[in-house]
Every structure is written in C-alpha cells, then in structure tokens.
Amino acid sequence: MAAFNPLESLFQDLSQRLDAPPADTSAYPTLPAASALQTARLSLPDPHRKGSYLAALGASATLKHIHETIVPALTGQGLSSRYFGFVTGGSLPVAAAADNIVTAVDQNVQVHLPEQTIATEVEDVALRMLADVLGLQGSGEYGTSDVWLGRTFTTGATSSNILGLACGRESVVSKRLTGNGEKGVGELGLLAACHAAGIREIQVLTSMGHSSLSKAAGVVGFGRASVKQLPMSADTPWKLDLEAVEKELAQDGVASVIAVSAGEVNTGEFAVDGLAGMQKLRALADKYGAWIHVDGGKVAPVTVAFVLLFLSKLTTHP
Ligand SMILES: Cc1ncc(COP(=O)(O)O)c(C=O)c1O
C-alpha cells in the first residue's frame, strides 16, 4: 500500500470541494443555539473540573470534538449574509483552498531565502499584481519609478494600524532631524530621536478613527492620549475638519500623523471628500512634514481599492 501523503490528500480534498456544487447556506443559522454554546463551553478543558486537564485526546477524537461540538457553537458569519457583528468579509472557495495549503506548508515569508524557498517571491509578486490592478505601480501616468517598494501584507487591520503608525513615526521624526548623520527612531529609540529632532509631542489626527488606532498609538509609543478627534461637525463626525488639521499641524515642536478612515466602521463613510479632499490633505501633509495613514480596515475590498486609487493619483509621497 502506498504511504499516506498528507499534502496529496489535502489537494484531493480541496479539489473535490472546489468542484462540488455551492452549499445551500440559506438554512445556515446566523447565531448558534444557546444549547450548542453551553455544550461547547462545558466541553472545553478546564483545570477546575475533575479529569485529566492536559491529557491528550488523540487526533481523531480532537477532530470529532471540533467538528461536532465546537463548530455548531460558532457564528455563521462566513456562511450567513445576516451576521453583522464583525465585518470579517468572506472568501472565494479557491482562496480558502489556497489558505489551507498555506497553513499546511507553513512557510516563513519575513526572511528572504531564495535558495531555499519561493515563498517570499510569491508574496512579492502577489503584492505587485495587487498594486498593478489598482494602478499603483510606477508606470505611465503615475511616474516611472516603482513607488510601492515597501509593500507587505499584514495579518489584519489592527496590525496595519500599528505598522502604519510605526512607519509614520520613523518618517515624521526623520524629517525633523537636521541631517547631521543622526539615525532615526529605529536606531536611536523614540525618546532620543525626538530629543535630537526638537519634537516635544507626536499627535495622531483623525475623525472617528477605529478603536484599534488608539491601541496602535499606545503600542508604538505615542500613547492613546495622542489621538485627537477633529470632526467636521456633530452631524458628520467621521469627516475630518481640514482647517482644524492645519492648525494642529502648524504647531511648533509637534509632529503629526494624520489617520484617515476609509471607511469608518459604522457608516462606511470616508474622512475626506473624494480626490480633491485627499489632494488637499496631501498638500497639508507635505507642507508640514506630516504622514498620512489610511485605515481601509476591512469595510470592503472595494473601499481599499478606491483608497489606493486616490493615493495613486496623489503622487508626491506614496
Ligand atoms: C476601520 C477599521 N480599522 C481597524 C479594524 C481592526 O481590524 P482587525 O480586527 O482586523 O484587527 C477594523 C475592524 O473592524 C476597522 O473597521
């Protein structure tokens, strides 16, 4: 008998699923039954209950537990069009299949080892294609250089916010260093770099920024208190008041990151009005050495597409 090949069996299973007719999800419950939740909860390992808390169940009993007890107690967000608790989005069957393969082969894409794996190149090409689909690559009307060199995928929107603010931190501080060979935040640390750059405060200017923005500000060392809401009006709190933004930017010794929601999680609304609004903001950021961070969250891929299109047409600083 041929030896069992787990990858072979995974591919077979995935292709069968891809070829299968689409599942009828209309009967799929949006929320699990209270009894299913209770059963699942009681089935979780608990050190206070009798029995062997850390003892292994074995592979097939574990799978059975997941399939028969845990899954019925999950929300139907991926299969139901009626669940709005989180904007998690959906995925095409082929993308879900690719995701299964990624899990099975478990590559490291943060270290480039071209002699050992194609993984980093696959990711880079995927990012380049995405940038091309969105018209972001530096060709034709948008310039001749490759403008999105630092492209990367993140694991989610909170980590995007952390990464975006960390990039902004490096940029706004470096712009204020005198160019006498001082290294930036990454080398000196935030306190020493700000001291060398004459910065007494770093602020994040936003309008109804997602709660994860404050979390990110805390993580990157700006502090949650650095996030300042500058709403246009009480009726349109998601719109950024550009006059108020300029007043904040003009302060001496204060460096700024402007965090634009696109769109705001409850309304899907954008913080600025169209291309003209983004260009106005870009001009302000350039004038005062601020960094623009766009939080496309996960309202919809189409939102991200529009945001990136806006950005691509803004040119000067991608
Ligand atoms: C605009 C925005 N930013 C950030 C987040 C946080 O996303 P994640 O849960 O992927 O970290 C969300 C989540 O809804 C969001 O809508």
Contacts of 205 (CB under 8 A, 6+ apart): 228, 230, 240, 245, 248, 249, 256, 257, 258, 259, 290
Residue nearest atom 1 in ligand 1 by C-alpha distance: 297
Residue 290 vs residue 144, higher pLDDT: 290
Residue 139 vs residue 288, higher pLDDT: 288
User: Residue 312 pLDDT > 80, yes or no?
Assistant: no
256 pocket-lining for ligand 1 (C-beta < 6 Å): no
Q: What is the pLDDT at residue 315?
A: 41
14 pocket-lining for ligand 1 (C-beta < 6 Å): no
Q: Please state the rounded mean pLDDT for residues 2-9.
A: 82
pLDDT in tens, 49-61: 877 788 888 999 9
Residue 118: both structure tokens together: 């194609």
State the pLDDT confidence band at 72, using cuts at 50, 70 and 90.
Answer: very high
Residue nearest atom 13 in ligand 1 by C-alpha distance: 297
What is 175-192 written as a DSSP string?
A: HHS-SSS---HHHH-HHH
User: Residue 299 pLDDT > 60, yes or no?
Assistant: no
Average pLDDT of the chain is: 85
**Residue at token pair 């689909």:** 133
How far is residue 260's CA from residue 229's CA, in Å, rounded to a whole number?
Answer: 11
Residue nearest atom 11 in ligand 1 by C-alpha distance: 158
pLDDT in tens, 105-135: 999 988 999 999 999 999 888 888 877 777 7
Rounded alpha-carbon distances, angstroms, from residue 63 to 10, 85, 104: 15, 27, 16
157 pocket-lining for ligand 1 (C-beta < 6 Å): yes
Lowest-confidence segment of 141-155, 263-277, 298-312 by average pLDDT: 298-312
Rounded distance from Cα 157 to ligand 1 centre (Å): 5
Q: Which of 84-98, 229-243, 256-270 has the highest mean pLDDT?
A: 229-243
**What per-residue string of b and e applies to 286-311 under the rule 16 or more CB within 10 Å gives b?**
eebebbbbbbbbbbeeebbebbbebb
87 pocket-lining for ligand 1 (C-beta < 6 Å): yes
212 pocket-lining for ligand 1 (C-beta < 6 Å): yes
- The maximal CA–CA distance of the chain, rounded, in angstroms, is 76
Q: Which atom of ligand 1 is nearest to the CA of 265?
A: 16
State the pLDDT confidence band at 230, using cuts at 50, 70 and 90.
Answer: very high
3-state secondary structure (DSSP) of residue 91: coil
Q: What is the pLDDT at residue 43?
A: 94
Q: What is the pLDDT at residue 250?
A: 98
Task: List own/partner pairs for 98-106 with CB under 8 A and 24 or more apart.
Answer: 100/10, 100/14, 101/10, 101/11, 101/14, 104/6, 104/7, 104/10, 105/7
Rounded distance from Cα 281 to ligand 1 centre (Å): 23
pTM here is 0.81
Residue 251: other Cβ atoms inside 10 A: 13
How far is residue 187's CA from residue 125's CA, in Å, rounded to a whole number?
Answer: 30
Q: Which atom of ligand 1 is nearest to the CA of 86?
A: 14
Residue nearest atom 7 in ligand 1 by C-alpha distance: 157
How far is residue 9's CA from residue 302's CA, in Å, rounded to a whole number?
Answer: 35
CA 230 to chain centre: 23
Q: What is the pLDDT at residue 232?
A: 94
Lowest-confidence segment of 42-56, 59-73, 128-142 by average pLDDT: 128-142
Residue nearest atom 2 in ligand 1 by C-alpha distance: 297
